[in-house]
Structure 1
């Protein structure tokens, strides 16, 4: 207790000292591409979120700024974000002048602030992608992760329409970290049928780091990071509110989301409420295969795939010249039916329509995810201390018709599985900016997890999981063209898994013994990881990147101990308590050239892993009721290699042509076979027209057509099915209506799978039932501002 009081006293003393220090004003002017003053441009400091909007003459003045080094941001919709490193101190500050450049090219426009070193895309030694709210609205998928499928190197693992999880360069689950408000999302992400508990309408920007990110985020990020960013808190004196409505035809989705946010003298708030419901979804097929039997799909509709989602979030905080501190509380709830053909023995009444396409019957899933996250950034002299603290409680219920086998007592209720996971997280990062050409980040990550289970079936035992890691990263700006970076990290983890004994019944009242499903497991893991990288930009057109790193990943409790029927993914999964940690050596390269009207980017990668852990399909079938095929966690030497190509061309200002292509090649060195669940190569050309001055109040009018050709995946593991190639055509259009002092009503429409093609997704959990992906889908999204002052 005394130590805690001393720490609090020290922090308050720091804040009090900062409050009395001398302050300065950051002044300047922003003009558009013609040199005319730009009105309403947001200009703010990343570290403190202090900022203003430019006046009618394009001028801005951010007052009451402490001395130190800052990242200054200049943002306006439709233009590239400008980022400038500035020094505030005793010397006379210059009057800054910024000229906006229209965002004609979609790539390489935003500084990635979630990166620990605050690097721009050109300065980063690994491949970074940033997409904003406009991109997400244009590419609105059935889930947030489906909205990213058009990006090179990005895929999603799907189970129907309402469940999807991200894949980066063929890696998923506990190899890809999803960070929300700076804290890694923890919600049973190991499961193929476990979606991401995130409100897709609450996200303002997504930053994707392709390649190893374990130095910052720990061992679960050796495949990459998806950082979800919510809107920056409003500038001082600004208040706004709005509504978003969304409709999807493939499953009759109706969704609405409303928000309100503001800033009163540095006291900031944001609230959002979202609700959506959807019915059974349609597929371009009239049958599916179950255990070699061909069964009907009535009215091209998968019965019991309806669902609902509810989300509420509230953020309160304070922005001052010493930094900021925000507290966010949120709760996400989803209930979704599971197509009966995916588990158990399909019964005729479960396949025939009951007349209510929005009814959620058994089997189904109910997920609730509660989060409390604190984000703070405190100035310490010329340096900064970032602290992200989080508590998460994830409860997952899988409900199914109870089965009675053997002589045991009758099962009561329909709760098959209940997994209750609590996670405590703390991330501390100290940003040292004392030397002009050097920036250092030194940090600690720690987490503690506790999992408990209930239900009449067994899948995953009770466990606790503790991890802690420390890292140091340095960036050296050698000159204007060359940036070098390097870092080291050490991790320690401990897993304690409780043995689970299954009773053996003589009759309904007498237990004669116990069968062990999972042994006691007490394991300690530790190792180091590191990386070195370089970004060389000899001029404003060319960019070269190189990054080499050693990564490390601890086996997860699920990989060590799972042993049960995983109904949603149609299989019996078995862990191995003797698994060893993974070690990987990962190389990333990048070459790009950007001119006024075109951009070409090539990003190859090569990864070698010893003791690579993966879930392998076997030739065994489960002896458990309705168990299906057995999948075992095992280890091997493995190679992941491949790359992405992006080409963009703008022959005229209003015409955008682009082509992206990606490929992942995997190889099991010991078995001389591919690894399972490898995404097939794809190529995606797109054309987009923008129209200026169509009507007086209409702006940002566009029409686009995209084509997706995905190659056949014939490089499969033993006991894994091949998947044929397919082609899809997508179309979209949208516009903004400007009214009442620059308020914007935004409308976007999207048609996915325009030709209603029947195709199989190699990464879909339902591919083994020969269930095709959703058919033609019309998506309409309308955003209406209610208040903007």
Structure 2
């Protein structure tokens, strides 16, 4: 591996040229010739740009030699995109065409930084602020507004993204440019990312192992952090939200400043929610949660070098619901609950050479997951005696120790060389890797102590013609998993942590599991992707993508041997499980003009050696035994959508989208936890006249119809359909030199009592959240 790294570095550094350039110009309206104020002039590969002034003028400095894409966008205009050659370019005058279609943004999650309309692979991109203003309580909740994306939930505070029927270890999440590792195989906790400080999210639907390695067979969620301030500017923001259903609140404050080369930002956020209320008026006990989040970044950039250091601390305290009991709006958590601390430190650097560049990303994550459970003292000795014993233990030990505590440490790296362009070809070579350790410190052992090591090498190429674009590549990956053996009722780490103290095992904290043998497994896989985009007419384009992906079995699937009280089953792993290997065909058609958009996406995803739980018919500890096994499976379906702006009513938007997915194993049985078909219709009115005191005004009405889910696994029950009505309105106004934005939204206005097929509380007959009215106030200083 070292030889590969040094070879890439030598090839890249040899043509280095120390140079800096600048470009200036004016942006005007193509119809009137008037200057366009506040247009965004941005170089995505350089992560720098400028905003046009009142005269439509701009200037961007410190640009290295080479060819770089410039993107110019403004509300109400079609986005302009072109490639500029430096030092040949120094002046740029652009006219923008009026368009009612929303302005496009650059897609970051794919390697060549194209606009969506230029991309070979269709990628959904949504602004997180836009998702929040529609009343999303959490980031996972907001993601469900994207076609093809749902959420596997446990109440309101716990949500796992589901892309076209696949979730958990089959969907990768990227934040700050590095893969998020936080025991994502588990259903009992959510993303662990606050929506505050996230600018946008991009969704790749389907296998993306070519770019991201193992675990991306279902797709990728790519979180783009908020940008730094423009050069020589200081920005600040205060954001407050209130949610009526959970009587919850969220507050966030941000400050950022940038000079010519040095940039800095910081943001702190806090949220707290009570138990949510269902449509029938009951509060679901212990679905309360709170979240503390801090994000900071420091960046430096000149003509030949760019670096960005980011840090994110997220602390989540999440109640684990068991049944509907105490009716309270208290925000203090009850037992059982989880406390999850997540630290992410990432460094992204880029060196610019003559028509080429070298990217290096490295990330360190520390995830501390604790679970606090109810002791059996209360049941055996009564509440008073239990309280006395708890008080005695806390005085003696100074704290309440978790039953489950796991420390996950992960080091990721990604080295990528963007070769000089040759004619119509753009090529990228790269290596990626990960080193991860899992260590137990609690009395219970969910998965054993283990070390996971990944290494992958890949190459991808993009070829552009007048009507055709092609993109393809190959990748080779290895993964090794080494774990320690676990004896029955092992409490080794708990004893080590309290060495020198007299430790007495408490009833109820006993780890009910059998022995687990040590694992020493290695997995290899070769994957590829090939895609084509063809412009059939000026308005109609087609995309066809073929891709393979793989997923190595996770530690839970390999080593489980114990009772899972949350699911009331005894799970048994299999150390001989093979890779999951999939092949997906994705076809997309898109029609687009100034006032009308429509798309049709269809996919077929075949997964060999799909891993799932199968009952054995036995009972252990009065729990049914389920063992992990494999069988081939397939998923198929797609999304259809349209967006209409009837001329000349450019302020009127009519949107509709339909999504469907079906999942089956080769034996004819349906896969579990497949989302039901749904149809979403939205009517939006938007008025963006800056001459009025209140501008950026909007109002929307949305109806989401979820159909009956009758295609269920043998151990699931059918789920009835339902319809949810929502609405919202808002606007913004200036206060001296600052700006305030206010929004009000209401979800499930009719207070419908319903149960989602993807709710983990469904087996207990517990309904989802009822009516919720949210109010948001953002103050830009």
Matching residue within 56, 66, 84 for 2:82? 84
Shift in CA distance, 404/81, structure 1 to aligned 2, threshold 3 Å: farther
1:439 aligns with: 426
Equivalent residue number for residue 146 of structure 1? 141
1:122-163, CA deviations, whole angstroms, 9 ceiling, x for partnerless residues?
333332111114422322412102112122111011111111
Q: Residue in 2 aligned with 1:394?
A: 367
SS in 1 for 2:740: strand
> Does 1:502 pair with 2:484?
no
Q: 1:486 aligns with which of 455, 472, 489?
A: 472
1:273, distance to aligned residue in structure 2 (A): 0.3
Give 1:28's match in structure 2, choosing from 2, 25, 30.
25
Structure 1 residues 666 and 515: alpha-carbon distance in aligned structure 2, compared to 1, 3 A threshold: closer
- 1:273/1:618 Cα in 2 relative to 1: closer, same or farther (>3 Å)? farther
C-alpha distance in structure 1 between counterparts of 2:618 and 2:272, whole Å: 39
Worse-matched range after superposition: 355-364 or 259-268? 355-364
Contact 2:66 2:353 in 1 (8 A): no
Match of 1:352 in 2: 326
Rate the CA distance shift 1:276–1:708 in 2: closer, same or farther, 3 A.
same
Task: Say if 2:636 is the partner of 1:611.
Answer: no
Alpha-carbon distance in 1 for matches of 2:64, 2:732: 39
Q: Deviations over 1:218-240 (max 9, x none)?
A: 12111111110112222210110
Deviations 1:450-483 (A, max 9, x none): 0012323332111111111111000011x22110
Q: 2:207 aligns with which of 208, 212, 232?
A: 212
Other-structure match for 2:499: none
In the alignment, the residues of structure 1 paired with residue 312 and residue 289 of structure 2 have an alpha-carbon distance, to the nearest angstrom, of 20
Q: CA deviation at 1:586?
A: 0.9
- Could you list the runs of 5+ residues in structure 1 that have no partner in the other structure? 286-298
1:591 and 2:589 equivalent? Answer: yes
Partner of 2:534: 536
Please say if 1:660 is aligned against 2:662.
Answer: no
Encode CA deviations 1:201-231: one digit per residue, 9 max, x unaligned.
Answer: 1111111111111101112111111110112
Counterpart CA distance in 2 for 1:315 and 1:698 is: 33
Structure 1 stretch displaced more, 265-274 or 74-83: 74-83
Deviation larger for 23-32 or 158-167: 23-32
Q: TM-score, normalised by structure 1?
A: 0.89
Distance 1:4 1:430 in 2: 11
CA deviations on 1:238-279 (whole Å, 9 max, x unpaired) are: 110110001111111111001111112210001000011111
> Which secondary structure does the structure 2 equivalent of 1:558 belong to?
helix
Query: Is the CA contact 1:401–1:414 (under 8 Å) kept in the aligned structure 2?
Result: no
Q: Which residue of 1 aligns with 2:187?
A: 192
* Partner residue in 2 for 1:105: 101
- Residues 583-607 of structure 1 show CA distances to partners (whole Å, capped at 9, x for unaligned) of 1111000011112221110000001
Name the CA shift for 1:271/1:620 in 2 (closer, same or farther; >3 Å): farther
1:81: how far off? 4.3
Partner of 2:386: none
C-alpha separation between the residues in 2 aligned to 1:763 and 1:572? 22
Q: Deviations over 1:6-62 (max 9, x none)?
A: 9999899889x64xx343322322124643112233323223333222232212222
* Separation in 2, partners of 1:607, 1:188: 25
Q: Is the 1:126–1:588 Cα contact (8 Å) retained in structure 2?
A: no
Separation in 2 of the partners of 1:620 and 1:662? 39
**1:373 equivalent in alignment to 2:373:** no
Query: Separation in 1 of the partners of 2:6 and 2:46?
Result: 25
- Identify the residue that residue 471 of structure 1 maps to in structure 2: 458
Q: What does residue 317 of structure 2 align with? A: 335
> Hey, what does 1:362 align to over in structure 2?
335
SS in 1 for 2:533: strand
* CA apart distance, 1:168: 0.7
- Equivalents in 1 of 2:42, 2:264: separation in Å? 17
CA distance in structure 2 between the aligned counterparts of 1:648 and 1:476, rounded to whole angstroms: 30
Could you tell me which residue of structure 2 aligns to residue 249 of structure 1? Answer: 244
Residues 276, 668 of structure 1: alpha-carbon distance in 2 compared, 3 angstrom cutoff: same
Tell me by how many angstroms 1:504 deviates.
9.5
1:171 and 2:171 equivalent?
no
Q: Secondary structure at the match of 1:219?
A: coil
How much does 1:64 deviate? 3.4
* DSSP-derived class of the 1:488 partner: strand
- For the aligned residue pairs, the C-alpha RMSD in angstroms reads 3.0
Contact 2:364 2:411 in 1 (8 A): yes
**2:580 & 2:286 partners in 1: Cα distance?**
39
Residue of 407, 412, 416 corresponding to 1:429: 416
| Counterparts of 2:158 and 2:270, CA distance in 1 | 16
2:696 is aligned, of 687, 696, 700, to 700
**Which residue of 216, 221, 229 corresponds with 1:234?**
229
Measure, in 2, the Cα distance between the counterparts of 1:73 and 1:47: 11
Change (3 A) 1:166 1:80: farther
Do structure 1's residue 732 and structure 2's residue 728 form an aligned pair? yes
Aligned match for 1:182, one of 169, 177, 197: 177
Q: Distance in 1 between matches of 2:719 and 2:422?
A: 55
**Structure 2: how far apart are the matches of 1:761 and 1:648?**
27
Contact 1:47 1:323 in 2 (8 A): no
Q: Structure 1 residues 258 and 129, CA, compared in 2 at 3 Å: closer, same or farther?
A: same
Q: Secondary structure of the residue that 1:220 maps to in structure 2?
A: coil
| CA distance, structure 1, for counterparts of residue 606 and residue 569 of structure 2 | 29
Q: How many angstroms apart in 1 are the aligned matches of 2:41 and 2:239?
A: 26
Between the aligned partners of 2:463 and 2:421, the Cα distance in structure 1 is 12
- Which residue of 1 is the match for residue 684 of structure 2? 688
2:494 corresponds to: none
In structure 1, what is the equivalent of residue 44 of structure 2?
46
Q: Secondary structure at the match of 2:439?
A: strand
- Of the structure 1 ranges 442-451 and 569-578, higher mean CA displacement relative to structure 2 is found in 569-578
433, 439, 443: which one pairs with 1:452?
Answer: 439
The residue that corresponds to 1:722 in the other structure is: 718
| 1:122 and 1:537 in contact (8 A); partners too | no
Deviation at 1:570, TM superposition (A): 5.5
Give the structure-2-normalised TM-score.
0.90
In 2, the alpha carbon distance for the partners of 1:631 and 1:151 equals 34
Partner of 1:578: 576
Provide closer, same or farther for how the CA distance between residues 658 and 4 of structure 1 changes in structure 2, counting only shifts above 3 A: closer
2:761: which partner in 1? 766
- Secondary structure of 1:672's aligned partner: coil
Distance in 1, matches of 2:303 and 2:589, equals: 40
Q: How far off is 1:572 after superposition?
A: 4.2
Whether the 8 Å CA contact 2:588–2:601 is kept in 1: the answer is yes
Q: Give deviations 1:289-330, integer Å, cap 9, x for gaps.
A: xxxxxxxxxx61122222211011211110111131011122
User: Which residue number in structure 1 is paired with residue 495 of structure 2?
Assistant: none
- Comparing 130-139 with 198-207, greater Cα deviation is found at 130-139
State the Cα deviation string for residues 324-377 of structure 1 (Å, max 9, x = none).
Answer: 101112210011222232xxxx8xxxx234x66222121111000011100112
Q: Is residue 313 of structure 2 the alignment partner of residue 317 of structure 1?
A: no
CA–CA separation in structure 2 for the residues paired with 1:618 and 1:659: 44
Cα distance in 2 between the residues matched to 1:634 and 1:538: 46
- CA 1:60–1:484: 2 relative to 1, 3 Å: same
Shift of 1:92: 5.6
Which of 730, 735, 748 is equivalent to 1:753?
748
Looking at structure 2, the residues matched to 95 and 662 of structure 1 have their Cα atoms a distance apart, in angstroms, of: 43
